Amino acid sequence: MNPIYVLPFLASLLFSLSLTPLIRRLARGKNLVARYREDRWHERPTPLLGGVGIFFSLIIVWPTASFILGYHIHTGFLLPFVLGSTAIFLLGLADDILEIKPQYKLVGQIIVASLVVALGFEVNWLASRTANLLLSIFWIVAITNAFNLLDNMDGLSAGIAFLAGIFLFWAYISLHLGGSNAIPVLLLLSAFLGSVLGFLVYNFHPASIFMGDAGSLLIGFILAGLTTKAAGWGIGSQANNLISVLAIPVLILFIPIIDTTFVSLMRKLLGRPIFLGGKDHSSHRMVAIGFTERTAVLALYGFAVLSGLLAMTIARMPTGMSIVLVAVFLLFTFFFWLYLAHVKVYDEKSVINSSNILKFTPLLITITYKKRLFEVLLDLVLISLAYWLSYLLRFEGSAYADNFAVFLKSLPIVVACQLFSFYLLGVYRGIWQYVGMRDVIAYFKAVTLGAVLAVLTNLALYRFLGFSRTVFVIYGLILLLLVTTSRFSYRLIGEAIPKNSPKGGQRALIYGAGAGGQLLSREIEQNKNLDLTLVGFIDDDIRKQDCQFLGHPVLGGKDRLDEIVDKYKISHLIVSFRKISRTDWDSLKKHCHALGIDLNRLNLSVE
């Protein structure tokens, strides 16, 4: 990397680090603070106007650095964009001070975006110039608002903007984007990164200042605008490839895009205004299922890094492998956000039981709440992906192209046979939250039957000319993996998320790390009304001691109960097994009474 980009980065970083505390003091003095509201996440008054520090650090350092380095004569094409960014900043600042209504803000954003697009900042992703102009306006306005909506937790919007800026900077350098205009853009990006990072130091949890709309609209507008100026996302033969052209900028800005889409859809389903504040963003739902605020933000940082690396990877890969990587990543994120969608964050009744039911089509209700149609559509994607990937793995280079016609004519047959076998063997009768090994056996039988039916059908229709038996073997293995992973996604995510203690929960210990302990563990973690926090297990089986069971430690045996209770401040001991003599029970009860803890027992009954 050229060292000339280090100067504006360091200068804007130092400027932002110095300016932000002064602005924080000014905001407090003018009483410009974000106060607690029911529909907001923060609970204490926090100064606004952090975006002012970002703006001035950028607007002072960038032209100064360009002049010192001798590139100021080449920056003329960026002036309309910088003026547009200034207008967006002023619009956000006015909203921070005067609280402008969302529809008026949107009108202002569209006007500014339209003028910037008219002055040359437009995408060239499609063949139609008209479509590109309209798409450019939509893209800039959408990304601008996406970062505004993403500013819902300490350090989230600024951190994601910083990571997106890094990958956009990387894309400009490694993919040779922007042509002769690249250096001025990179100088602007360098100053942008330093300004945002300097603010992030004060905004990361626990935040001492918020950027406000002035900052969130500004950073979204800048990132959206600079992606439009990056002409030719592809390399070589991939330059006109829609995957290369469209997927890379979308992946760089993946988190604000998916969070905005997710929140908008969920609010629409619940009949809530999209632009109204709320505690229903991805980060809020992650906290609700066990993450701390800091780990939720870091987890979303991780998604942003993963999507950015994927963007840089697919730019230099063959089209086929790019599609596979993007598809796998999208499936992974889809299942995670599907899990988040089931987290209850409001007290509203389900849409299907409410008066809003008539607002939605029967198809949407079926997909969202009946889930069976959704499973069929998902399997349609998985079957097609597995079959296509099996051809990609079996044939390489020209051999793949020669066999592609066979793939196309047989794909509908494979889909039909596979879906029929899934229906026949009861794949669509299962409940994802409770899948087990018996379900995996059913999936194996259904996949095998579908593959055999597809082979027989192709044999009858085409005499199996030009087909490869190896393809169907690979297809069966890949599809079994995809179907099993999709059905186990709920359990896999549930087991992977951190088990944080609920506030105020009484600390509980389970006696018995077995089947009963498993039932108790899940009940304690899922039933918040119990007001219990599971600390771990004790078990008299020495082979289980000092091991992990269901993500919790087996702290020892009953003989160490006194030590464990004292060390971990236990208030409840729950016996998870039924076979315990009356004498042992009475002895244990007496022991717990002496330690000052409650003794309970798992009781299952059918009445």
Last residue of a domain, one of 429, 461, 494: 494
469 and 538 both lie in a single domain: no
**81, part of any domain:** yes
pTM over 0.85: no
Q: Which of 79, 24, 95 is nearest to 53 (CA)?
A: 24
Q: How many CB atoms lie within 10 A of CB 184?
A: 21
Q: For residue 569, give every residue at least 6 positions away whose Cβ sits within 8 Å of its Cβ, in sequence order, or none.
A: 507
221 and 240 both lie in a single domain: yes
Residue 480 in this model has a pLDDT that exceeds 90: yes
Q: Take residue 294 and report the two structure tokens written for it.
A: 């800091």
The span from the CA of 420 to the CA of 414, in Å, is 10
Last residue of a domain, one of 295, 320, 351: 351
Q: Coil, helix or strand for 262?
A: helix
The span from the CA of 397 to the CA of 402, in Å, is 9
62 and 126 both lie in a single domain: yes
**358, part of any domain:** no
**478, part of any domain:** yes
514 and 467 both lie in a single domain: no
What is the secondary structure of 177-233 as a DSSP string? Answer: TTGGGHHHHHHHHHHHHHHHHHHHHHHSSSPS---HHHHHHHHHHHHHHHHHT----
Last residue of a domain, one of 321, 351, 381: 351
**607, part of any domain:** no
Q: Which of 106-120, 331-345, 489-503 has the highest mean predicted lDDT (pLDDT)? A: 106-120
Q: Tens digit of pLDDT for each residue in 207-238?
A: 899 999 999 999 999 999 998 876 544 433 34
Q: Coil, helix or strand for 378?
A: helix
pLDDT at residue 424, rounded to an integer: 92
Q: Tens digit of pLDDT for each residue in 13-58?
A: 999 999 999 999 998 888 888 766 665 666 678 898 999 999 999 9
Q: Tens digit of pLDDT for each residue in 546-599?
A: 888 887 899 999 989 999 999 988 999 999 887 888 888 889 999 999 999 999
> Any idea what the CATH number is for the domain that residue 588 is in?
3.40.50.720
263 and 281 both lie in a single domain: yes
The span from the CA of 224 to the CA of 218, in Å, is 10
109 and 183 both lie in a single domain: yes
86 and 127 both lie in a single domain: yes
What's the Cα-to-Cα distance from 310 to each of 171, 272, 600, 601, rounded to whole Å? 12, 34, 51, 50
**Domains contained in the chain, number:** 3
**356, part of any domain:** no
Domain range for 169 is 3-351
The span from the CA of 41 to the CA of 270, in Å, is 19
Q: What percent of the chain has pLDDT over 70?
A: 86
Interior angle at CA 494, CA 489 and CA 495, nearest 5 = 100
What is the secondary structure of 271-313 as a DSSP string? Answer: T--TTS--S-SHHHHHHHTT--HHHHHHHHHHHHHHHHHHHHH
Reported as type and span, the H/E element at residue 46 is strand 46-47
Interior angle at CA 153, CA 31 and CA 267, nearest 5 = 105
The span from the CA of 234 to the CA of 36, in Å, is 46
Q: Which of 392, 384, 237, 233 is nearest to 320 (CA)?
A: 392
82 and 197 both lie in a single domain: yes
* Residue matched to tokens 């100021």: 72
**238, part of any domain:** yes
**274, part of any domain:** yes
DSSP alpha helices (H): ranges in 46-181?
50-69, 79-98, 102-118, 129-150, 156-174
* Dihedral sign (CA 487, 434, 340, 517): negative
Alpha carbon dihedral 425, 428, 433, 439, in 10-degree steps, equals 10
156 and 233 both lie in a single domain: yes
> Omega before 553 cis (within 30°)?
no
Q: What is the mean pLDDT of the chain?
A: 84
**59, part of any domain:** yes
The span from the CA of 476 to the CA of 418, in Å, is 10
pLDDT at residue 502, rounded to an integer: 44
Residue range 244-271: mean pLDDT, rounded: 84
314 and 444 both lie in a single domain: no
133 and 237 both lie in a single domain: yes
489 and 547 both lie in a single domain: no
